[in-house]
Amino acid sequence: MELSAINARAYLLITSAKVVHMKSVIKYSVEVAQAMAAGSPIVALESTIISHGLPRPSNLAVAIECEEIVRSLGATPATIALLDGVVHIGLDPAELNAIANRDDISKASIRDLAIVIAQGKSAATTVAATAHIAATAGIKVFATGGLGGVHRGANESFDESADLTALSELDMTIVCAGVKSILDIHATLERLESLSIGLVGYKTNRFPGFYLNDSGFDLEHRVESPQEIADIIKARTLIGTSSKALIVANPVKTEMAKIRHNQILAEGLAKASQNGVSGKAVTPYLLEHFHSASEGESLSINTEIIKSNCALAAEIAVALK
């Protein structure tokens, strides 16, 4: 056998070994694996909202209820997280409980994934990381609460969520309640346009702001049904624009009073500045401030948001099939 042929064979063996090794760091739940094999609709769900966005013990109860909502509407939930160095696409009850209650669950964006895997650690996945893993697995619909975006004062800090970059590179339809109202919403909308990320309002002409159903900004496109969204997704493939995400902005039904919201936000921003809170620590800090200052109202709204988005995402996934 010639040397080049030996080298080629060796290369194929090494490459095959790498593929097998990579498969060992990704685990599909039985439910998700069966849905994939059957070509059934699947909805990706993030895990950061479970581990970092909601307090215990309500976080586990909400996670379980969200999965049940997706199932009740004919789709399979695929909650995504990393446990002990393994990427899980779909969680069994014990794994879901671990994400909700273990104290060693960090928060992983895309850049953190390989590090967490190699070090055998555990992490909940952000919107960016969840979308990346879901897209890699061929899952096209994703439900979350609120997107990350451009932070206030980003012209000096350059603080912009990795969610935006991820969604500019992934074929994903993401249902959310707009972006978190603690962000610079106008700047975020400008970035979405610059990055050619699709944006439609679900039964609304106004861009929602998480706790608020109207952030004060108009939307150019409005849709009225899950089937209409499914048609847009199919058209994206036909016209070649599916390499970037489609955001479906689904406003919360029961919003916080705007005056109260703005007062709590101003107080939270002032406290964050006084305490030197910066970077990715700002969002959880402000969300916790909202939870305490609103005496649980923001938590109730947050819970409503994720449930509503899971339901709409499931209906879209079913309409696609």
Q: What is the pLDDT of residue 224?
A: 98
- What is the rounded CA–CA span in Å between residue 287 and residue 298? 8
102 within 8 A of 83, measured Cβ to Cβ:
no
Q: What is the pLDDT of residue 137?
A: 96
- What is the rounded CA–CA span in Å between residue 50 and residue 267? 25
Name the percent of the chain lying above pLDDT 70.
90
Question: Domains along the chain?
Answer: 25-320 (3.40.1790.10)
How many other C-beta atoms can be found within 10 angstroms of the C-beta atom of residue 84?
12
| Average pLDDT rounded to a whole number, residues 272-301 | 84
Q: How far is CA 173 from the centre of its chain?
A: 10
Identify which of 261, 277, 302 has the alpha carbon closest to the alpha carbon of residue 52.
302
Q: How far is CA 33 from the centre of its chain?
A: 21
Name the percent of the chain lying above pLDDT 90.
75
- What is the rounded CA–CA span in Å between residue 275 and residue 262? 20
48 within 8 A of 124, measured Cβ to Cβ:
yes
3 pLDDT tier (thresholds 50, 70, 90): very low
312 within 8 A of 226, measured Cβ to Cβ:
yes
The residue to which tokens 């049904």 are assigned? 225
User: What is the value of pTM for the model shown?
Assistant: 0.89
In this predicted model, what pLDDT tens digit does every residue of 77-92 receive, in sequence order?
A: 999 999 999 999 999 9
Residue 18 has pLDDT above 50, yes or no: no
Residue 161 has pLDDT above 60, yes or no: yes
Residue 248 sits at the vertex; the CA angle it makes with 176 and 155, to the nearest 5 degrees, is 70
- Residues labelled catalytic: 46, 180
The DSSP 8-state label assigned to residue 242 in this structure reads T
Residue 301 sits at the vertex; the CA angle it makes with 227 and 256, to the nearest 5 degrees, is 110
- What is the rounded CA–CA span in Å between residue 5 and residue 126? 45
